[in-house]
Amino acid sequence: MKVVEKAAVTCTMTSAGDWVRVRVSFGDRVYHAAGAIINLDQSKAKLVLESTDRNRVQVVSRKGSERIEEVACDKIVFDLDNRKAEIVGAKTIKLPDRIGRILIKGDTKIPDSDILDKVAFLRPGEPVSYPRLEEARKNLAGFDARVTVMEGDPGDVFKDIEITMKESD
């Protein structure tokens, strides 16, 4: 691992197989990038990650608490003096929907823990898997439950799962 510091910029480089991973922080903007070719030109204070014919550079960035942006690109150039990143040939990658909260509504006679035991494979933060949702529906068939993915704000990758129980007699 190599750490390069320049003013308020911190770069951390690690090797992962044929890839080099870089974390670059410019104040509240943080970039996580992985590429096959890396060039650190200390005289020009530039760090460049480039793609190969087979692999594109993967970049994930976040500003403060804003949501994550993820792209695949030909090259990313970090200008360490000016605290800027230039992404060349970017293609946006759609982030998969992820499970937010698991909400249980309806029947109050069946303990929530019994219901959650039947769908223990649905965990907050995991990608929403529609075959897994179908499995949850089958596991809850004896409870006469409905499993629904709730739509949140546009662009929000976290989706709540609502389990609606039919009231028992």
Residue 74 pLDDT > 70: yes
Q: Are residues 14 and 64 in the same domain?
A: yes
pLDDT band for position 31 (cuts 50, 70, 90): confident
Structural contact between residues 14 and 25, judged by C-beta atoms closer than 8 angstroms: no
Place of tokens 């970090």: 78
Q: Are residues 104 and 83 in the same domain?
A: no
Q: What is the pLDDT of residues 116-157, one digit of tens each?
A: 899 988 888 788 888 889 999 999 988 888 999 988 766 677
Residue ending a domain, among 50, 75, 92, is 92
Q: What percent of the chain has pLDDT over 90?
A: 10
pLDDT for residue 68: 67
Q: Are residues 88 and 105 in the same domain?
A: no
Round to the nearest angstrom and report the end-to-end CA distance of the chain: 63
Q: Which domain holds residue 134?
A: 98-165
Calculate the average pLDDT of the chain. Answer: 79
Residue 113: DSSP 8-state:
H
CA–CA separation, 104 and 102 (whole Å): 7
Higher pLDDT, 164 or 156: 164
Instruction: Specify the CATH number for the domain of residue 142.
Output: 3.10.20.310
Structure tokens at 7: 């003013």
**Total structural domains within the chain:** 2
Q: Are residues 81 and 9 in the same domain?
A: yes
Residue 53 pLDDT > 60: yes
Q: Are residues 62 and 133 in the same domain?
A: no
Report the predicted TM-score, pTM, of the whole model to 2 decimal places.
Answer: 0.48
Place of tokens 């594109």: 56
